[in-house]
Amino acid sequence: MSSKAPNNGAPAGKPKLNIGILKRIISSLFKAYPKLIPVIIFCIIFSAVAAAMPALFTQNVVALIEKWYVSRDWAGAKAEILPKILLLVGMYALAILSSFAFTQVGAYVTQGFLYKMRGAMFEKMQSLPVRYFDRNKHGDIMSRYTNDIDTLRQLVSQAIPTLLQAGIVVVSVLAIMLWFSVWMTLVVVVGVIAIMFVSGKIGGGSAKFFVRQQISLGKTEGFIQEMMNGQKVIKVFNHEEQSKRDFDEVNNALYNDSFKAHAFANSLGPIIFNIGNLLYVSVAVIGGLLLLSGVKNISISGMAFSVSLIVPFLGMTKQFTGNVNQVAQQFNTVVMGMAGAGRVFDLLDEESEPDDGYVTLVDAQIAPDGTITEADHRTGKWAWKHPHRDGTLTYTELKGDVRLNQVDFGYIEGKQVLYDVSVYAEPGQKVAFVGATGAGKTTITNLINRFYDIADGKIRYDGININKIKKSALRRSLGIVLQETNLFTGTVMDNIRYGRLDATDEECIAAAKLAGADGFITRLPHGYSTHLTNNGSNLSQGQRQLIAIARAAVADPPVMILDEATSSIDTRTEAIVQAGMDKLMENRTVFVIAHRLSTVMDSDVIMVLDHGRIIERGSHEDLIAAKGTYYRLYTGSFEE
Amino acid sequence: MKRVFGSLREYKWPSILTLLLMVVEAFIETQIPTITANLVNTIEGFEGLAGTASQEVMNGVIKTGIQLIAMAAVSLICGGLGGYACSKASAGLAKNLRRDIYERVQTFSFENIDKFSSSSLITRLTTDITNVQMAYMMIIRTVVRSPMMMVFSIVMAYRLGGRLSLFFVVIVPVLVLGLAMIGKVVLPAFKRVFKRYDLLNESIEENVRGMRVVKGFARENYEIEKFNKEADGIRKDFTFAERVVALNGPLMQLCMNFNLVFILFVGAKMIVQSGGETIKVGQISAMLTYGMQTLMSLMMFSVIFVMVTISAESVRRISEVLKEESSLVNPENPVCEVADGSVDFSGVSFKYSADAERDSLSDINLHIRSGMTVGIIGGTGSGKSSLVQLIPRLYDVSAGEIKVGGVDVRKYDLEVLRDSVAMVLQKNQVFSGTIAENLRWGNPNASDEEIRQASRLAQADEFISSFPDGYNTYIEQGGANVSGGQKQRLCIARALLKKPKVLILDDSTSAVDTKTDSLIREGFKNYIPETTKIIIAQRVASVKDADMIVVMDDGRVTDFGTHDELLEKSGIYREVYEEQTNGGDFDEQ
């Protein structure tokens, strides 16, 4: 037990552009849609170029107007202007078509990509070791699916296409500008550098506060969650005023960060826009001066300075700054999107629970002479299918013989919690673990189903080292009922069937009867079809435990682990379900953890644990006779 | 809506300021193109001029330039200030809303809280308010600005281009119609998406929480399949919605391009025919800008329309909480003194909600004298917890009355009543903070010695002192770093610090070993003899020595009396007792 500083678990750190992450996003996109991505890019480029071209046409048309208006000959002018206009219409039509195409395909690709990312995350999550869930807060894992995926969506669907498109427009416009005049292009470039400088400053500040806002939001949510769950305690202690004051503190911090983040972001637009206006004036004035002073123009086209050059140039300046502005507006999205993507990738890069077991579990047919063959249907018997290095296969009947030999274990390196634990459970035996909280009872069962791997020693299951057994096979052979019951959204029937997916309704009801759950289930408004939500919040803790027992019963595994499975069921109800529990444990190897001694006293072996060591073992009678710790606790329990 | 805006308070001014600044900004932004047109026309004057005449033109250029720079400066200030003000207003609104809801919830009774469920209250306090904040920011920036911008643009365009501004008549209805159609299809689609999101998130959360069950049953692939199916549903709905929204872009482009082509062609005709007298090249580029501005403001308006619709649901959910009246209110002339710790139930019935079919408690009559120790025993769902929760008025009776110290609990000032009735709940809760901070919930002014004393009585001093930081040990959220038994003892110590007249323990020593349990009860007897102690327990041993034991079954008191009396007359009690004497309890030592 150490005193720890409050850790908010929120992602801290400075906002930065991590090119590695961007690269990875883009390469994942390509991998997901190798054909469509190039199509999108082509369409974006095409529509961007098409958007930049009108400047050339306007220049042309303006020049034609200049040429014709003195003569007021519209018919003559029309003959020259109309083809240009029609060409323009054609280009626009193509641009609109391509932008239609890329936005439609883009929507499809974005959602498909997110679907794939979500699927990959979920699949990865399912493969992660239990340790990961110890280490990471649930809310933190959740937010990767919600907030982080959402920032990623904005990045992919909005920021990247905008950056690409605006970037291309900027480059094309720049090229056209150079076509017209190098001198005037220089003026624009100087202005754009100023814009970039300012938006870098402001955008950076805004991104910094956006990250802070995320952290504050996390803190506020944490606070609210804690207080909401503890509302009864607050009321009982008249603690409302104090909790309001505490709330104000986190709430004000959130306000501050949120306000600053948005204030920076919102002023960015007007600032860039008006720098654009200043630039516009500068271009006009400098253009005029250049025209006046008769400086020789340098341009790709070789055009000389003229009014019909300056006018479209002014239009291009607007277009140029407009697009630079668009790029700047994406700054926050990019920073937040990359932070979100980083956290998504972190999850994807977590190391999966290693599973190099090769022994699998199969339905078995056992001939009278003891030979075992694999069956393609449920026979009620199972066998371990054990492939050997020489290519042969052997089958071992699954009996439920579990042996732990001198096992050492610690959850964290250097902090051992189990010392030299040896347990021998023969098929059909009931083995109980008793001891104080933290003595290591649950830890032992966590090792048998390999939620964690042992540091030293051996665990054998029907003579096979459990490291050789495929984890899914191992766990399928072990039924487990935990103290903390977790039910899933769905009907009561669905929840029981979770134990064995191909169980019939009758089998599920039989299991519920065995667990003593049938009584209350049939009294629920819709019986077995009652829909459970939010971890079965409409049921009592005891009722949820009964469903969990039924769920394990329907799986009908040869070995069962009952970890405080009846702790929330009062002794009277427990007495009622006892018969069912006894039947459930019949012919099975059972590991029982309970702090109620009445639950464990009929066990074949009782292990008394203390600080990670087995200090006594034997049957109830043996232990009473030995007059050790167990005896003291048993007899002492009614002493005052 | 009104209720939500009621939370604006001091942020009303930044909001109004935003609206005003936006009008000024819109006005200036629509002036700029005309001035620019002048600039362009002035530059055009260069053609064919030379010498001093051109110098004159140049002066004109500089004069218009300065005009334009002044405009830009004002627009910059308005825009920047507006960004600042609207951020302040929207973040402030969010802050006030969070505070108001939080405060409101603090006054709620559990009937109110149960009605909403605490997880939904959390969502309202977080996600919903963030939605409203973003929508509000967007709205105050655009709601006045966009229409103004449109009006100014059209007026300026008419003044500048006359007949040329006719294109508005064509283009505006097209865009309005297009946007309206998109909105009509897309809104229900988005609502579907949001609903599906909720379901998906719920399923993820279940998997995170129930990871051991999933792994224990080797159901990883089953869960992945289930998830992919749901995620694919989202993909389909969301793709549809996004594709419809994506029509906005090309539609906008179509309108703008039409605008450009029309003006360029018709403008050219007008210039050429009039010989550049009625209209000049400069006007054409200004007309183009006005067209763009009009279309843009229409677009923005459609965006806020979508935002309002999307956030309407959040607004509704927020105002639902704000207008919820607490079902527990202080009486008008409250009694402010609890005389003693006697508790009397007469004819009490209770149900959790008015439309529940069955009473959770029916016809309870009990008389507990001050200073008595009372045990309550009964099965899961027999109504033990419901019974004791009525004493500090966590819920109100449906019929009958409960008196504490001879006065109906509904006549007391709530705070006075709850100060005198301490309750240790079944679901123990400690909060993030140090142990001492947690204990001071009982009495904020408790001295270190008082804290120690209460902890000793609750048998907690020993383990607290064994921590390296003792009473300053930091407890993590949910009390993750203390064991169940330790948490229970901390909660008892916390309740003892209140020096209550009535102390209720609702199954609060279940994780404490029997020896410590009896030491705690011993302490109660010796150190707080005047306090009425009501103890709910599953273990007969915990209540055996009580002055009175109440046996409950199915919401009724079936028997009460001492241990010996009950062994004789209560079948249920005897059953429980015999069941438990077959074995003891074994937990922490």
pLDDT at A39: 87
pLDDT at A55: 65
B336 close to A (CB below 8 A): no
A267 close to B (CB below 8 A): yes
The CB-side HSE value for A192 (13 A sphere, CA atoms) comes to 23
Q: Give the distance from residue B521's alpha carbon to the nearest chain A alpha carbon, in angstroms.
A: 9
Has residue A447 been placed in a domain?
Answer: yes
In three state form, how does the secondary structure of A479-522 look? EEECCCCCCCCEEHHHHHHCCCCCCCHHHHHHHHHHCCCHHHHH
- For the four alpha carbons of A370, A372, A373 and A374, in that order, the dihedral sign comes to positive
Rounded CA separation B329/B332 (Å):
9
The CB-side HSE value for A573 (13 A sphere, CA atoms) comes to 27
* Residue whose tokens read 């070789």: A302
The number of angstroms, rounded, from the C-alpha of A424 to the middle of its chain's C-alpha atoms is 40
> Which residue from B91, B99, B254 is facing A248, i.e. has the nearest CB?
B99
The CB-side HSE value for A566 (13 A sphere, CA atoms) comes to 25
Cβ-Cβ contacts under 8 Å, B498 against chain A: 237
Closest by Cα among B221, B219, B240 to B229: B221
Cβ–Cβ gap A244/B219 under 8 Å: no
Q: Give the distance from residue A129's alpha carbon to the nearest chain B alpha carbon, in angstroms.
A: 9
Cβ-Cβ contacts under 8 Å, B436 against chain A: none
Cβ under 8 Å to B: A residues 619-638: 630, 633-638
Helix H or strand E encompassing A75? helix A74-127
Cβ-Cβ contacts under 8 Å, A600 against chain B: 583
A455 and A532 part of one domain? yes
| Domain regions of chain B by residue span | 2-323, 343-426+499-581
A59 and A139 part of one domain? yes
A373 and A439 part of one domain? no
Cβ under 8 Å to A: B residues 49-68: 54-55, 57-58, 61-62, 64-65, 68
B489 close to A (CB below 8 A): no
What's the CATH code of the domain at A574?
Answer: 3.40.50.300
Cβ–Cβ gap A475/B474 under 8 Å: no
What's the CATH code of the domain at A225?
Answer: 1.20.1560.10
Rounded CA separation A436/A611 (Å):
8
A117 and A171 part of one domain? yes
The number of angstroms, rounded, from the C-alpha of A399 to the middle of its chain's C-alpha atoms is 39
Which CATH class for the B343-426+499-581 domain?
Answer: alpha beta
A217 close to B (CB below 8 A): yes
A239 and A330 part of one domain? yes
Cβ–Cβ gap A486/B271 under 8 Å: no
Has residue A355 been placed in a domain?
Answer: no
Cβ–Cβ gap B84/A235 under 8 Å: no
Task: Say whether B343-426+499-581 and B2-323 share the same fold.
Answer: no
> Which residue from A115, A266, A488 is facing B87, i.e. has the nearest CB?
A266
* Residue whose tokens read 């995350």: A121
Q: Give the distance from residue A368's alpha carbon to the nearest chain B alpha carbon, in angstroms.
A: 31
Cβ–Cβ gap B44/A311 under 8 Å: yes
Give the count of domains, chain A. Answer: 3
Closest by Cα among B178, B298, B343, B145 to B245: B178
> Which residue from A89, A258, A482 is facing B94, i.e. has the nearest CB?
A258
Q: What is the interface pTM, i.e. ipTM, of the complex? A: 0.82
A306 and A389 part of one domain? no
Q: Give the distance from residue A277's alpha carbon to the nearest chain B alpha carbon, in angstroms.
A: 6
Reading the block at residue B454, the tokens are 């209460």
Rounded CA separation A628/A565 (Å):
26
Contact between residue A621 and residue B570 where contact means Cβ atoms under 8 Å apart: no
A419 and A345 part of one domain? no
A484 and A600 part of one domain? yes
> Which residue from B75, B257, B484 is facing A92, i.e. has the nearest CB?
B257
Contact between residue A530 and residue A491 where contact means Cβ atoms under 8 Å apart: yes
The parts of chain A modelled with pLDDT lower than 70 are 1-17, 55, 437-438, 534, 537-538, 567-577, 595-596, 633-640
A588 and A491 part of one domain? yes
Cβ–Cβ gap A142/B589 under 8 Å: no
The topology under which CATH files domain B2-323 is: ABC transporter transmembrane region fold (1.20.1560)
CB burial readout A413-441, b (16+ within 10 A) else e: eeeebbbebebebebbbbbbbbbbbbbbb
The number of angstroms, rounded, from the C-alpha of B362 to the middle of its chain's C-alpha atoms is 36
Contact between residue B279 and residue B161 where contact means Cβ atoms under 8 Å apart: yes
A481 and A611 part of one domain? yes
Closest by Cα among A328, A327, A336 to A207: A336
Cβ–Cβ gap B206/A535 under 8 Å: yes
**Geometric angle at alpha carbon B269, from B266 and B270, rounded to 5°:** 90
Cβ under 8 Å to B: A residues 455-484: 471-473, 475-476, 478, 480, 482
Reading the block at residue B41, the tokens are 């026309």
Cβ–Cβ gap A597/B583 under 8 Å: yes
pLDDT at B117: 73
> Which residue from A7, A292, A311 is facing B281, i.e. has the nearest CB?
A311
Cβ-Cβ contacts under 8 Å, A435 against chain B: 586
Has residue A1 been placed in a domain?
Answer: no
A392 and A413 part of one domain? no
Cβ-Cβ contacts under 8 Å, B90 against chain A: 262
Q: Give the distance from residue B371's alpha carbon to the nearest chain A alpha carbon, in angstroms.
A: 20
Cβ-Cβ contacts under 8 Å, A636 against chain B: 514-515, 584
A385 and A305 part of one domain? no
Q: Give the distance from residue B12's alpha carbon to the nearest chain A alpha carbon, in angstroms.
A: 15
pLDDT at B90: 95
Contact between residue B87 and residue B136 where contact means Cβ atoms under 8 Å apart: no
Q: What is the pTM of this model?
A: 0.77
Give residue A493's domain range.
402-636
Cβ-Cβ contacts under 8 Å, B40 against chain A: 284, 311, 314
Cβ-Cβ contacts under 8 Å, A291 against chain B: 43, 46
B347 close to A (CB below 8 A): no
Chain A, chain B: beta-carbon pairs less than 8 Å apart: 483
B415 close to A (CB below 8 A): yes
pLDDT tens over chain B, length 589 residues? 677 888 888 999 999 999 999 999 999 988 888 888 887 777 776 665 555 566 777 788 888 888 888 988 898 899 899 999 999 999 999 999 999 999 988 888 877 887 777 777 888 888 889 889 989 998 998 888 889 988 898 888 888 877 778 777 778 888 889 888 888 888 888 888 878 887 888 888 888 878 888 887 778 888 898 889 989 998 999 899 889 888 888 888 888 888 888 888 888 888 888 877 777 777 777 887 888 888 888 878 877 877 787 788 889 889 989 998 888 788 888 888 988 999 999 999 988 766 666 678 889 999 999 999 999 988 766 788 889 989 998 888 989 999 999 999 999 998 899 889 998 887 777 888 899 999 988 888 899 999 999 999 999 998 898 888 899 998 876 676 777 778 889 999 999 998 899 999 988 887 777 778 888 988 888 888 899 999 998 778 888 889 999 998 878 899 999 999 998 988 888 877 876 665 444 443 3
> Which residue from B272, B284, B288 is facing A69, i.e. has the nearest CB?
B272
